[in-house]
Structure 1
Amino acid sequence: MLSQRLRTARKANGLTQEELAEHVCTTKGTISNYENNHSTPPNDMLRHLADILNVTTDWLLGRTDEAATPLTRRDDTRDNRSLDELLQEKIDDPDDYYFLDGYLDASEEEKKEIRRYWYDLKKQWRGRQVKESRPPSLFEITENLKKNNP
């Protein structure tokens, strides 16, 4: 129950595991262990998680179905940024810029083709069960594709 509700509350607040870990001064792995029911947070961590996620500890533990505080996205400055600011943030990252370059100007048919190719690529990666300590950058992926498809 705790693992499911923790994940639900985290997502409802628009947080990644890493972001939640930063808020409660722990690691992404610890949050992942809580969400996958591999470990249980100690009482003080449970209280801290409830405070950050705007829910009660009783709700997290499944003692009540009343979260007390509605599960809504946190009122972050991130949420108040305009679409242009969010897009600029993506463009400032070289990997994201390389990926997005030309996409916004593409026709609807071209965008559909790009998305189809992206889903196919993700399936191929899952099929190979590629496990890396860090996800490859978009640059590394495109360079590998160039090498494999001269």
Structure 2
Amino acid sequence: MLSQRLRIARKAKGLTQEELAELVCTTKGTISNYENNHSTPPNDMLRHLADILNVTTDWLLGRTDEVTPASVSASEAREKRSLDELLQEKIDDPDDYYFLDGYLEASEEEKKEIRRYWYDLRKQWKVRQVKESRPPSLFDITEGLKKNNP
């Protein structure tokens, strides 16, 4: 199933095996092996192929007939930015840079706790209908929390 669907998705994007190989940093022979069912891509390559071909890994693997996730609207797909663009945006804003400092090195449990806290904070903002003309700085957020939770 994977070999057939990979070929279908590649051709639908108008790519040759060589062009796809270049986009995912591998060789034409590797793509040929995937499409001829001589080998199977590792998970990280499978995700990369799905991203480049704008399909889901579940579709490539034959687990679903939905090519793209139903939860992603066309406008969300257009707004999707590359990881490099997002990272550069965070580096350009000192508050975000210091906020994210150390996150990648945190343990999985610490990351879960940070995300859980962030989602709770966003819910509180929505309930309070917080609207600012600019995003609050990290200092503003921490000071506001100190005032609300002495």
Q: TM-score, normalised by structure 1?
A: 0.46
| Bigger Cα Rg | 2
Q: TM-score, normalised by structure 2?
A: 0.46
